[in-house]
Structure 1
């Protein structure tokens, strides 16, 4: 029997559970009762509150910049911290690899997926913490412009000489003349192709899978897929047309493995020794679509598990205006470190991130990392702490090593990764693992919310303002009575619909605010 949650308007705002029949009886006994519609609650299986972000675990330079800016910008702390860490990843990812042991070696790049609604000032935070890297990109491009123009001219001359030799060989083939000399000249010329200096392109937003792949294969070997409106990327033609291929590319880049693109009409290319940071901030609805089983990015692909996820609580309603500080010295220090790290990557070439130094953990740091590894593994047992997020837990230890390496690099340390950086990385990755468990619904809950979303989409698409339970079962995507009842219950609980009595009929009314004006 379908059970609905009905709020009673009393001083204590108490609530009681009622069946459909009980709800009908109450309406019948109060025929003149008028219930005003409230704001619909977004459909989300995320019920538990988020844990406080471990800001004290951030490196001193990063922590001070994050805390100082948060006092002015008043965005959720995890949102700001993830933006700062993503820029740290971008600035350091071409400087080293990290080794967990002699066989487990990986890049230090990180992927972030942040859910944040409209009005949370996520764009402002992103602009602040990416300012230094964007400025560095512009500065280097301007500095190299004369050299690039000269190289392009030399390449045009080289191309004309090559075309001329091809023409001579072609003409000699038709006339029967000797072309050996022209062939020798061409063979020598082929190995003298002028190299055009690379210009850094660090940020990609509205990029198709192919555009990103081509740039990484032929352009600057260290970049980021970065957007404060991830719907632009996740709704792109390449993602909709072939999501599996796009996800495969992102997975290979995170792993630091070679990716070969084969084409039907033109020559293929290979992506090798490249590094990518990912920082996507999205509306909560987009995150929900990602977690739906029917989505192109399924959990089975392994993409979401590679990401550090966060869904910070909304701070709107408490962000009263205050004048900005005259200066934020801590932010200046952060920007100086970003610039210094990027300067070390200025000599990157077409060969990519090759012969990178290999960072290892000190013995004490390795012991702490092993304890964390084993603790997470123990939580994968039946009824264990991480049994609902096995995929995320399986990547936690590797993400910890990557983050510890980034702390080491960003602070300009030498030698092995220390125990302090490792312990701090464990604390932050543990927080993200808790977030994944809070955000990602279990399979049963996910299906129930997916069904509720399907039903709500049907109401909106068909412009159905009022209908019956029987009509829903006959015409909606949910023909199964149990699924229908579960979906209706969720929609009532979230103020998306309500059950009302109309004559002898029990009607389902849809909240008018759910329809776009």
Structure 2
């Protein structure tokens, strides 16, 4: 079936054939370029396979899977299961050239259609005829070969980020994430990341994963999704967090009788202690010692009665002090779930004037927390387990990088960032609602997980199978070179040093979600660990983009905004006037504000200005400069790691 100008079955068949018969790669690579595939994931996969073929590496499923995993790109193509799907659906590898011909023909048709669309848009933009003709000739010249274009110099790592691989979550959780994303018309990254935060709320402080020796990882996470205003963040939070709030209500109802009984007992014991103390005070000296002993015993009895606190699972915008108190009262377990990021300003000292990060640092690591208060007893928490699931605006992401201690003390290193593509402006009206059964299963299962683990005072210890432990070792071996000076993660070594632990935590949560009532009694499998690693790859790519964005200057940020418009509209040519009409905002108040941005994009190779336009005619306005877009902007590309690996092996 052909969709959006490409034939999905033909694309799957040609890639599957190349996986099954690597000796076909020479002919197929000469026929098809990565940009010929209509599905972006197929373009990424094909570029990696072409690079492997050029390096003399076979393109069988096992080798390709290992290559993509090492490059951190496996999640972007659908993971190892999708590669097996491709090979399983090949009608016949002998017909590979026929499938390739279908893909190539549709690619050429798309190029022609895109060319016509761009020329029509340029003609309607107010440009004069000479401008349109000149641009048309340039586009025709560029249709087959990138005449003289230099390689792109990336504007950081914010482009072509992989989508959240929600299909790797347990079925009932994945279905909810996809359904919520469809109904709200939001990127699945938001629902997926909050789903993990909800699992963390259920399991944090109640389970930990034993890797080897004394190395244990708790199962609580900090997730932060970055989306602009108007992205329906609240609607997603409401749908995903509802079972947690329902479970909290159930726990409160269960605890109510015990709380009432303890309060009554404390009141009675208190009155008895007061009565015996008064009797001792009024007694004559001969019998006072006995009454004082009775009063002391009564007071100690009253003091020994502990009134259970009302269960609280979720807080919203709390101060560090309040979070500490609630953690202490709740046995060291608490979640901060919010569609806003105001808590960052709060813990940075918005009210106190002094940053207080200790509870958020130790609450992630599980380190003992002891805080003395002048107005009350010392608050002591042996193993705090704090969860954070937030959605913040891009401005807040940039602000927190400069907040005192956030980077230096390690708070940012504990966060799993997600920077999904904004869907506003491309949302489907009248999207399908969340299926009733999907919502019901999600509510039932998450509710059950919370209640099953709620009574655990000492955390359940989840062990790894030998194969799963070997996978952890493989992850450590892959990560270590990236952290070295000059490595891919050298500039985020603080975040990268916690990467393997984060993958282990995610694996623990997936394991518990798939074994709702007896996960604590079964080991974490290699398959679970592998899926967690793929999710970890997603967060690694987004962490690179997040830290890059936090350190970027304003011109680069604005350039990314313009580049996003180019990618979203598939523009291959435009005038400055056309661009200004499209991106006019507080950042671009006049066309002159575009000049430094266009200069950045030209310097990085994304744009090329056409020959200066002809002088304006008498009485007319000056013609607007025209720009061509580098062909590679609209081509799926393999990750930098994949290309580097191919060059090294060559």
TM-score, normalisation: structure 2:
0.58
* 2:391 corresponds to: 281
TM-score, normalisation: structure 1:
0.72
Alpha carbons 1:452, 1:490 under 8 Å: kept: no
Name the CA distance, whole Å, in 2 between partners of 1:490 and 1:281: 30
Q: Residues 337-382 of structure 1, C-alpha deviation per residue, up to 9 Å, x if partnerless?
A: 211111113435xxxx32x221111110111111111111111122
Name the CA distance, whole Å, in 2 between partners of 1:12 and 1:372: 54
The Cα shift of 1:169 comes to: 6.0
Alpha carbons 2:207, 2:218 under 8 Å: kept: yes
* 1:373 corresponds to: 476
2:204 to 93, 96, 107: 93
2:531 to 413, 424, 433: 424
The Cα shift of 1:196 comes to: 2.1
1:128 aligned onto 2:247 = no
Alpha carbons 1:452, 1:491 under 8 Å: kept: no
Alpha carbons 2:201, 2:334 under 8 Å: kept: yes
SS of residue paired to 2:224: strand
RCO comparison, higher one (Cα < 8 Å, 6+): 1
Structure (1/2) with the larger helix percentage: 2
RMSD of aligned residue pairs (Cα, Å): 3.3
The Cα shift of 1:400 comes to: 0.8
* 1:254 corresponds to: 364
1:400 aligned onto 2:503 = yes
Alignment CA distance shift 1:88-1:219 (3 Å): closer
Alignment CA distance shift 1:194-1:490 (3 Å): farther
* 1:509 corresponds to: none
The Cα shift of 1:197 comes to: 3.0
Name the CA distance, whole Å, in 2 between partners of 1:13 and 1:157: 93
The Cα shift of 1:47 comes to: 4.4
Alpha carbons 1:111, 1:307 under 8 Å: kept: yes
1:291 to 401, 413, 417: 401
Name the CA distance, whole Å, in 2 between partners of 1:48 and 1:170: 79
1:333 aligned onto 2:436 = no
Alignment CA distance shift 1:158-1:191 (3 Å): closer
Alignment CA distance shift 1:54-1:290 (3 Å): same
Name the CA distance, whole Å, in 2 between partners of 1:303 and 1:243: 18
1:52 aligned onto 2:163 = yes
* 2:261 corresponds to: 150
Name the CA distance, whole Å, in 2 between partners of 1:284 and 1:187: 60
Q: Residues 404-441 of structure 1, C-alpha deviation per residue, up to 9 Å, x if partnerless?
A: 11111111144211001100111111211111111112
Name the CA distance, whole Å, in 2 between partners of 1:13 and 1:189: 95
Gaps of 5+ in 1: 1-7, 15-43, 454-487, 496-517
1:78 aligned onto 2:185 = no
The Cα shift of 1:320 comes to: 2.3
Alpha carbons 2:348, 2:356 under 8 Å: kept: yes
* 1:512 corresponds to: none
SS of residue paired to 1:322: coil
The Cα shift of 1:332 comes to: 2.1
1:110 to 215, 218, 221: 221
1:213-232 counterparts in 2 under 5 A? 213-219=324-330, 221-231=332-342
Alignment CA distance shift 1:123-1:177 (3 Å): same
Alpha carbons 2:187, 2:423 under 8 Å: kept: yes
Name the CA distance, whole Å, in 2 between partners of 1:164 and 1:12: 102
Alignment CA distance shift 1:288-1:491 (3 Å): farther
1:161-176 counterparts in 2 under 5 A? 161-166=272-277
Name the CA distance, whole Å, in 2 between partners of 1:104 and 1:54: 28
* 1:387 corresponds to: 490
Name the CA distance, whole Å, in 2 between partners of 1:65 and 1:451: 37
1:302-317 counterparts in 2 under 5 A? 302-317=410-425
* 2:606 corresponds to: none
Query: Based on CA coordinates, which of the two structures has the bigger radius of gyration?
Result: 2
Name the CA distance, whole Å, in 1 between partners of 2:165 and 2:275: 65
Q: Residues 241-270 of structure 1, C-alpha deviation per residue, up to 9 Å, x if partnerless?
A: 568763111111111121111223443221
1:179 aligned onto 2:283 = no
* 1:465 corresponds to: none
Q: Residues 284-304 of structure 1, C-alpha deviation per residue, up to 9 Å, x if partnerless?
A: 111100112xx1243111111
* 1:137 corresponds to: 248
